[in-house]
Structures are given as structure tokens and as C-alpha cells.
Amino acid sequence: MKEGFRQSMAWLHTWSGLLVGWLLFMIFAAGTATYFRQEITQWMQPELLQAQPGPQATTHALNALREKAPKANRWSIELPTPREPAVRIGWVESPASSAKNARGRFKTEFLDPATGAELKARETRGGEFFYRLHFDLHYMPAVWARWIVGFCAMFMLVAIVSGVITHKRIFKDFFTFRPEKNQRSWLDAHNATGVLALPFHLMITYSGLITLMTLYMPWGVMTAYQGDQKAFTAEVFPQTKTPKPTGRPGTLTAVEPLLAQARARWGVAPGHVTVVNPMDAGAVIEVRPVDERRISLNGPVMTFKGDTGALLSVRGDDAPAAATRGVIYGLHVARFAEPWLRALFFVSGLAGCAMVATGLLLWAVKERQKHAKQIRHGLPIGLGLRLVDGLNIGAIAGVPIAMASYFWANRLLPLGLPDRQEAEITCFFAAWGVAAVLGLARSTRGMWRWQLMVGAALFALLPLLNAFTTYAHLGVTLAAGRWAFAGFDLTVLALGLGLATAAWVLQRHGGKAIRKARSSKAKHPVAAGA
């Protein structure tokens, strides 16, 4: 009975991982990149390298907003941080249509904190694209995408738990790796990458489900609030009530003393300033701290009267359920993490990618051994195995090609190209589509090697492309200590070397397999010619 239970868990582990593995690999890869999405965005907007720190950043931002958006009913200011050195200002433009439900477009600009001069950065989604991709999947309605991603996450959770149950020597096997043993080598690699970051895998999968729990399990909310979603949102995610404008012109008080008051209360620097009805006598100023110093995403808010600076309210103590969700969500996105901890999350995410990849390859290797006789005699293998082989190439080798192509497009597309950020995203999916089609059309060892080498070249040559197309190259960024830019170049170089190593290993083992097959034919000429 006990052995039967473990065999059942092994079956469950295999199929729960295989059925969603290809999409799960992309989700893991995009989510892993998200840990450095601000740094990715910086690299993709090299014009921001010239931003210099300055004490009057907020004043410069308010002056710019008064000039550019005097009629907007809300101003947004994101103050500079080590990860985002420029000031970002934003406002909602007036809608082009006069229709009742027409909405204006949210517009953002970057300013130099020292001078207040506008920094003309190229149009790009940057790292935000990977963040949205790993749960919104881009080319589909967001609700459908989140259901699909939740389905994959639940299968992932089942695969992790069933895998732990299946491998009763899982921690002992973590220290075991037998190279050049075909199926056993893939199993050892799968075990090692799975156990290496097992707590991370459990946390990231479970917390991902929790972030969208009301979408997947809405019945508790429907029962407790009689289906009133707005009442639930207002209680669990409270927002400052937007005051109605008085219709009388007003003047904003100096904001720096308010930021100093917030800093004294929280012990950390404010990071976000929102001004509601900024040119009205009833203006309100909201101040929030930077995200990097707390685990929970439910941050405190201080609200001040716009004309006098009087403190109106302080919000920050959430109900237990909301606070718990905020912490779990915060663990998932890891905005609180220092650079070294963020790097550890990144490496754990790469281990997750390797775990999914080796699991997919392990299934194909097992199936191929079942068809070894057919393959040895040159007979065609089943459609299922050929499909899995092609999908494995398209996902495992194709996603790195797509990600690198996205970065190349950022440097090569004309700066004035209309809707430039969508053109970069189109390059991502076009490159991925080509890699997937080629993988399905010819799922051979040579195709594996070729696509891995293409991915390696695209990643490894990015620093060289950066040097030829911008002034934010390693020769400048390392000397200036701009580690967001330099770290990106060094990381993609390391990823390129990793993919090149995988292609080299594949070439080396492919040569051994060919020599072994020729030797077998020489020893058994009759069987070989049968």
C-alpha cells in the first residue's frame, strides 16, 4: 500500500509538471527577471544615466507639473532612489473624446533631480513588460491570463508536494550527481535544482496563488459581503477618499517640511508624493515611503492639507487578514530585498527554471529509451514524443532567444518609431515564435545546439551592442559606480556563457553518442542492417 501510494505520487508528479511545464518555464523566466525590473528599465533607458542627485527634487517636480499639467486633477511624483535615479512625474491628460466614460491617458516624464531638466528617455516598457508578462501573458484579456497562470501555479504546487513525497531520499540525492549517465544524470540534475531552492519554490508558488486568491476563490467574499465587491475592496484595501474640488484657486504649501515630517515618523525616506486637486483651495497631499524597507506591500500613508500642510490623517495599521496578505504578496515580489538578497532570489528563480527544464527533458529521455529499438532501426517515433521534443526546444531554448531579442530591439529600433514599446514586445514574440516553429519542425540535437548558440550569442554580445549604440557601456558605468547599468551587462554576459556551455556540452555528448552508435553497428552488422 505504501509503495502504491508513492507510485501514485510519482505519476501525479510527472503529469502535473509536464502538462503545464512549457508555459511554466516562461512564467518562471519572466518572473525571475522581474526581481531586477527597475535595473532592466534603467538599462533600456540609457538616457537616464545622466541623472544626478539633488536636494530640490520635489520642488523641481512640482514646478514642472505646474507648467505641464495645470488642469490635471491628480499629480504623481516618484522620488529618486538608488534603483531609479531620476524623478518620475505623472498626470492624467484630458480625454480626447467628450463621451461620458472616456478616460485620459496617463503621461509620465523624467526629470534630473539636480536641475529639474527633462530627461528625454526612449519609449519602452523595460522590466515592467516581464512583470506583467508573468501573470498577464500580454496578448489576451487579463482575467483569462490570470486564470491560466493560476491553473499552472496550482499544478506547480501539486508537482512540488508530490515530488517531495516521491523521492524519499531527496535530500541525500541532492549531493549526488552522476554525469554521462543519460536518464540518471537528468534525474540528478532535476533533484539538485529542485532541492537547492525548495523553500523558495514553495513560497513563490503559494504566494503567487495568494495574490489573486479572491479571483480564484471568490465565494467567501460573496458570502460575507453579499456580493458587494466594492465594499470588500474598500475595507481590505482602504484608499484615501478623493476630496471634491472647491472651485476656488489655491496655492500649495512647501512640500519639503512634509517629507521631513514623514521621514521622522517612519524612519525611512518618502518615495511617493500624490497631489489631489493641485490647483484648488481644497488640495490634498499624500506621502508614502519607499518600498525597499518593508516586507508588506500595504505601506503607510500620511495625508496633509494642501494649502497649510496640516496633517489630516495617518493610515498604516491594516486588519490582520489584509496585513497577512500584504506580507505574502511582499515576499512574492521582494521589493524589500537588499541587492544581495535580491540576487539570491534571482539565482533561486534560475534554479526554478532549471528544475522545470530538466523535468521536461527527463520525461522525453525516459520515453526515448522506451522507443530505443525503433530509433536504433531508424523507425519513426510517436507523435507525442516528437511534440514534446519540439515544445521543449521552443520553450527552453526559445524563451532565452526571445528575451535577448527584446533587449536587442531596444537598442536597434529607431528612437522616434511610433508606438516603439509595442514594437519591442512584438520582437520578443516574433523571435519566440520563430524558435518554437523551428523546434517543432525539426526537433533534433542539432536544432537544440543551434538555438542554444543563438541565445548565447544574443546575450553575450549585448554589452558590445550597448557600447556601439550608447554611452552607458561598461567602460563608463564601472568607473562611475553605476551598478544598475554595469550589473545588467555583466549578468547577460554570464547568461550567454551559460548557454554557450550548455551548447558545448550537448556537442560533446552528441559526438560520444555518434561514436558509440557507430561502434555498435561495427560489432553487430546484421542487427544494424536489419
Question: Per residue in 315-330, pLDDT tens?
Answer: 876 677 778 888 888 8
Given the C-alpha cell 515576499, which residue does it identify? 331
What's at 194, amino acid-wise? G
Report the alpha-carbon distance of residue 265 to residue 516 in Å, rounded: 72
Average of per-residue pLDDT values in the chain: 85
**pLDDT number for residue 527:** 38
SS3 content of the chain, % helix, strand, coil (to 5): 65, 10, 30
- Report strand pairing: 87-92 vs 118-119: unpaired
- Report strand pairing: 74-78 vs 87-92: antiparallel
Instruction: With a cut of 50, say whether residue 246 has pLDDT above it.
Output: yes
**Residue 312 or 299, more confident:** 312
Q: pLDDT per residue over 203-243, tens digit each?
A: 999 999 988 888 898 888 888 888 777 777 777 766 666 67
Q: pLDDT per residue over 409-447, tens digit each?
A: 999 999 989 999 999 999 999 999 999 999 999 988 899
- Confidence (pTM): 0.87
Percent of the chain with pLDDT over 90: 44
Report the alpha-carbon distance of residue 429 to residue 517 in Å, rounded: 38
What's at 333, amino acid-wise? V
Q: pLDDT per residue over 76-132, tens digit each?
A: 999 998 888 899 999 987 665 555 555 667 888 999 999 989 998 899 999 999 999
Contact at 8 Å (CB) between 143 and 215?
yes
Contact at 8 Å (CB) between 456 and 465?
no
**Where do runs of H (alpha helix) occur along 414-482?**
420-441, 445-460, 462-469, 474-480
**pLDDT number for residue 512:** 52
Average confidence (pLDDT) over 24-34 = 96
**pLDDT number for residue 445:** 87
**Where do runs of H (alpha helix) occur along 174-319?**
183-196, 198-211, 213-216, 219-224, 229-236, 256-266
